[in-house]
């Protein structure tokens, strides 16, 4: 009998990009009691909706994936909303989980919580050594407060709340809306559309010198499910693939995979965001045996193919 067989699990954001993969992963592992509320039914910014949801679901474990997320442009445009929505959801979900006596809460943080100039690879111990990169600081700090809450509640109430720090995720089913998408879907969309229209150039924000790390969404779902099953400590844990690539190299690779042969023009008047991102993932491997499996180019090919097929249906 697996750990999950008799567990009732509530997944917020379960119908989002990562959420759908996590639901599949939990089912694969033998969990058949999953509640994944939709925002239309339960606005989790309102405390009374959280109380109503917990009364209905009676979960053993809560995995809190729901978040307001977006790329640099969305973070610059809606900093207040990114701060308030993410903070108020998380704080109230954790507080009510404690009051309801829920056995375990899995809080999903963000790599944006790290200081702007964190030495690479980012170690969990570096989390408080500076202020986050300005364009996404309100989002990063809102999510970081959930770590403070988790550790404070563990200390005072013995509440089992763990905190995970996933790197940027990507894969089939990602958000390709140009208003709110992250860099990989944004570049895939630009290259595919430019190729279709016969355009000979695309414009990309920044200098291309910044680096990022990316985690394939199926690997992310595996990491979150393993942590939910096996990890029960106060310290935050990075969830990543353990590599870095510059945005310039990323754009070149996506152009190759989409067969876009035009020029990539860098708009240096736009921000790069955080200079570098690359996680030390040794704690996740040591504590609950997580190591990413999908190679980056393989994952990108799957994402590109999914997007092209979706556009053609």
Q: Among this protein's residues, is 163 annotated catalytic?
A: no
Locate 242 and state its tokens: 């353990």
Residue 4 backbone dihedrals phi, psi, to 5 degrees: -85, -15
Does the annotation flag 143 for ligand binding? yes
Does the annotation flag 266 for ligand binding? no
What pairing do the DSSP bridges indicate for beta strands 211-212 and 245-246? antiparallel
Does the annotation flag 248 for ligand binding? no
Does the annotation flag 289 for ligand binding? no
Does the annotation flag 18 for ligand binding? yes
Long-range interactions of 126-130: CB distance < 8 A, separation 24+:
127/165, 127/236
Does the annotation flag 299 for ligand binding? no
Cβ-based neighbour number of residue 77 at 10 Å: 12
Does the annotation flag 13 for ligand binding? yes
CB 63 within 8 A of CB 108: yes
Angle, alpha carbons 74-253-200 (nearest 5°) = 80
Q: How far is CA 181 from the centre of its chain?
A: 12
Does the annotation flag 272 for ligand binding? yes
Does the annotation flag 90 for ligand binding? no
Locate 252 and state its tokens: 């070149």
Q: Choose the catalytic residue: 114, 139, 163, 216.
A: 139
- Please enumerate, by residue number, every residue annotated as part of a binding site for substrate: 190, 205, 212, 272
Q: Hey, which residues are catalytic here?
A: 139
Q: Which residues are annotated as a binding site for NADP(+)?
A: 13-19, 143, 182
Q: What are the binding residues? A: 13-19, 143, 182, 190, 205, 212, 272
């Amino acid at each position: 009998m697996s750990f999950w067989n008799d567990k009732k699990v509530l997944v917020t954001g379960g119908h989002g990009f990562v959420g759908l993969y996590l639901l599949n992963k939990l089912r694969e592992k033998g969990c058949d009691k999953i509640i994944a509320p939709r925002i239309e039914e339960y606005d989790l910014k309102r405390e009374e909706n959280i109380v109503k949801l917990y009364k209905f679901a009676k979960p053993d474990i809560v995995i809190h994936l729901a978040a307001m997320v977006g790329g640099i442009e969305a973070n610059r445009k809606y900093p207040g909303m990114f701060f308030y929505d993410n903070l108020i959801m998380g704080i109230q979900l954790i507080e009510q989980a404690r009051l309801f006596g829920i056995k375990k809460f899995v809080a999903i943080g963000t790599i944006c919580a790290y200081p702007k100039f964190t030495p690479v690879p980012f170690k969990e111990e570096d989390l408080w050594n500076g202020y986050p990169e300005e364009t996404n600081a309100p989002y990063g700090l809102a999510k970081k407060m959930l770590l403070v809450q988790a550790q404070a509640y563990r200390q005072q109430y013995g509440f089992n709340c763990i905190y995970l720090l996933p790197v940027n995720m990507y894969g089939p089913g990602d958000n390709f809306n140009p208003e709110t998408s992250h860099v990989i879907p944004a570049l895939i969309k630009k290259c595919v559309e430019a190729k279709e229209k016969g355009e000979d150039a695309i414009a990309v924000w920044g200098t291309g010198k910044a680096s990022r790390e990316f985690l394939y969404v199926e690997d992310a779902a595996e990491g979150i499910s393993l942590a939910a099953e096996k990890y029960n400590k106060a310290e935050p844990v990075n969830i990543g693939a353990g590599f870095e690539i510059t945005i310039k190299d990323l754009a070149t690779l996506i152009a190759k995979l989409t067969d876009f042969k035009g020029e990539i023009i860098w708009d240096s008047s736009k921000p790069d965001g955080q200079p570098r991102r690359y996680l030390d993932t040794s704690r996740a491997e040591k504590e609950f045996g997580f190591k990413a499996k999908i190679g980056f180019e393989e994952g990108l090919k799957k994402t590109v193919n999914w997007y092209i097929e979706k556009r053609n249906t």
